A and B are shown apart, each in its own frame.
Chain A
C-alpha cells in the first residue's frame, strides 16, 4: 500500500510546495527537498512490496521491478538536485511555480513508471512533458522550450496513436495483455513497435530527435538541467524497454530478416543508437558551453543505453540498465558541479572560466569523479556498465555498434576533459580571485553522489542483483555474479580487485613521491613562458577551441538542425506567399481576387 501513497503524496506535495513558496520562497525550495527525499525513503523501504497493484480514481498501477528501479533512479536524481533549488529562488521569474512543477514532474514520472494500463501511462507522460515544458523557459531561452515541446509532442502523438492502434487490435489497455495478439501479426507489430519506440527515442534524444537535448539542457535553469539529463531522459529508456520487452520484439520479429541474430527492425534502431553515440561525441567535443557539452554527452550515452536495451541479452542489457543508473548520477553530478560554478561566477561558458579548483576544490572533485564515471574509467560505476555493454557486443559480434561504442568511449575522454582543464584547472582569472567556496547545502548532494558513483563502481553487486531481477522479469538470463566477480561469457571482471590493485599502485606511487625531496610551491603564473614576463592570467589560459585541429576535420558537417531549419524556412516562405496572395492590405490584390472570382462565377454560370 505504500506506493499509492507515494504517488498521491507527491501530487499533494507539489501543491503544498507551491503554497509554502507563497509564504517563503526558501521554505518552498526546502519543501521540494523534503518531499523528494521522503519519496526516496519510501521507495527504498517498499522494495518488498514489488508486485503490488493499486488504483487511484480510474488509473491503474502495478509496481514492477523495472518500474521500481527506474523510479528509484529518478527520485534519487530529483532529491539530490533539489538541494540546489533554494539558491536559485531569487533568480527565477516564477519561483513558486518552479517548486510546484519540480515536484509535479517527479510525481508524473512515478506514475508513469508504475502505470499498468496504457491510458494511465499516457496521462502521466503528458504530466511530465507539460510540467517540464514550463520549467525550461525559466532559464535562458524560450526557444528551447518550443523545440522541447515540439519534439516531445511528436513522442506524445506517436504514443497516443499507438495506444489507439493497440486498443483496436486487442481490445484491452492493460499493458501486459494489450500486446499479446500482436505476436501473430509481424507487420502490425512492426508498426506498433516503431510508433512506441519513437516516443522513447524522442525522450532519450536519439538521432534524429536529439536536437532538443542540447537546447533544453543547455538553457534550462541550472537546477533543472541535472534532472533533465539524469532523470527525464531515462523515461525514454523506459518506453524503449517496454516496446522491446513487453511486446516482446524478439518474438514478434522472429520471421524477419536477421543480421547477426538481430531482427532488422531492431538492427536499424541500433544503428540509430550508434549514430547518436558518434554524433553526440563529435558535437560534445566542439561545444563552447559546459552545459551544452554535457547535454551532448547525454545524447551519446543515450545511444549506449538504447543499444543495450535492444540487445535484450544477458550482458549488454544488464550493462545498459546499469549504465542508465550510472549515467543518471554521474551526469547529475557533473551538471551540479557546473551549476555551482555558474552560481558563483554567473557563466557556464568554458572560455570565460578557469582555475576554479583553487576556489572550490570539492566541486572540482565531484566533477572529476563524475567524468571518470562518464568516460567509463575504473574504478567508477561507468566502467562496469560500459564493460558489460562492450563484452555483450563482442559476444554477438556486432562490429559497427562496437565501433561506435569505442569511438564514444575514447571520444568521451576528449570532451569530459575539456571543462576539467579549462573550467577547473588552468589560470584563475583576476575577477574570480575573491570567489567564495561552495555553500554547505550544495556540498551535501555532491558528496552523496561522489560516494554513490565510487561505491557502485567498486561493489556493484547490489545493483546488479536488482538488474538480474529485471532480466528475469523480462524473461532473459540474468547477469551472473560470484562474490564480487561479474562472470561474462568471454571474460570476468572483479571490481573489488581492480579497486584494490589500483589502490596498491596509488600507494606505491605515493610512497615514491613522499620519499623524495619536498617541492617548492610556486604560483600559477610562475610557469615556463620562454622567459617572457607575463602578467595577464586571463589571456594565459588555453580554453577556447580546445581541440581545434580535430574540430577542423569535421567543421563542414551536415546537420539535422540545419535541415530542419531549412524546412522551417521553406514553410515560412510558403506562408509569406500565401499571405501576400490572399491576406494583403493592398487594394490592387483585393481588386484582382475579386475580379478573378467574378470571372469564375460568370464563366461557371455561363457554363451551366
Chain B
C-alpha cells in the first residue's frame, strides 16, 4: 500500500516536472552588465519563447532566479530576499563569471565572490559575458535537468538552510537589514 502510494506520487511528480521543464518563467535579477545579453536572447534572433521561457514581473510568479552579474553585499541581501519570496520548486541560475568567482571584481572589498555559498545555484553560465548561444545552450541543459528531476537546489536549500543562513550572516551580518544606511 505504502509503496503504491509512493509510486503514484512519483508519477505525479514526473508529470509536474515535465510541465515545469517546459515552462520556465524567469525573474531577471539584473545586477551588472549581463542584462544586456537578455534582449537578444528574448527577441527574434534567438527567441527563447520557443522553449517556453519568458520574463516575469515578480519573484512570486517566477520559477528561475537569473542573477546576471556581480554581487555586492547590498545586492546579495536583496537577491536572498527575492529568492525566499519565490514559490517552490525554484531554480537559481548564476550568469557570467561574476557569480562564479567574482569576475573582474574578484578582489574588491564589497564583492561576494561565490554565489553558491549563499544560495543553491542549479546552473552556472560561464563567460564574461556569455553570448546568447551560451545562454540558450545552458537553458537547454536546465530543461533537461528539471525534466529528470536533477535540479534540486531548492530542496538542498531547505535541508541545509542553517548552513546557508550561517554563510549569509557571516558575510552580511544581517540579511533583512533594518536601517541599511546607518549600519
Contacts and interface: CB of A to CB of B under 8 A. Distances in A.
A528 B60 contact: yes
Interface string A521-545: 0000010100111010000000000
Interface stretch (B40-48, B77-85, B122-130, B165-173): B77-85
Interface stretch (B17-25, B134-142, B175-183): B175-183
A528 B58 contact: yes
B180 A533 contact: yes
Contact of A531 (B60, B78, B178, B180): B78
| The 10 residue pairs across chains A and B that have the minimum distance between CB atoms | A531-B78, A528-B58, A531-B82, A531-B81, A533-B177, A533-B176, A528-B60, A528-B59, A528-B85, A535-B178
Residue in A526, A532, A533 whose Cβ sees the most chain B Cβ within 10 Å? A533
Contacts of A535: 178
Interface residues of B, number: 13
9 contacts: A528-B59, A528-B85, A531-B78, A531-B79, A533-B77, A533-B81, A533-B176, A533-B177, A533-B178
Q: Is the interface of A mostly helix, strand, loop or mixed?
A: loop
Contacts of B59: 528
Nearest to A535: B178
Interface of A: 526, 528, 531-533, 535
Contacts of A526: 85
A533 B74 CA distance: 11
Nearest to B59: A528
A517 to B, nearest CB: 8
Contacts, number: 17
Interface string B70-108: 000000011101100100000000000000000000000
Contacts of B77: 533
Given A528-B59, A531-B82, A533-B77, 13 more contacts: A526-B85, A528-B58, A528-B60, A528-B85, A531-B78, A531-B79, A532-B78, A533-B81, A533-B176, A533-B177, A533-B178, A533-B180, A535-B178
Contacts of B78: 531-532
A155 to B, nearest CB: 55
A531 B59 CA distance: 9
Nearest to A522: B85
A535 B82 CA distance: 16
Contacts of A533: 77, 81, 176-178, 180
Interface in B23-81: 58-60, 77-79, 81
B28 to A, nearest CB: 12
Nearest to B87: A520
Nearest to B16: A517
Nearest to B175: A533
A528 B82 CA distance: 8
A528 B59 CA distance: 7
Contacts of B177: 533
Nearest to A531: B78
Contacts of B180: 533
Nearest to B61: A528
A526 B58 CA distance: 13
Residue in A528, A531, A532 whose Cβ sees the most chain B Cβ within 10 Å? A531
B75 to A, nearest CB: 9
Contacts of B82: 531
A533 B180 CA distance: 9
A532 B77 CA distance: 9
Nearest to B29: A531
Contacts of A532: 78
Contacts of B60: 528
A533 B59 CA distance: 15
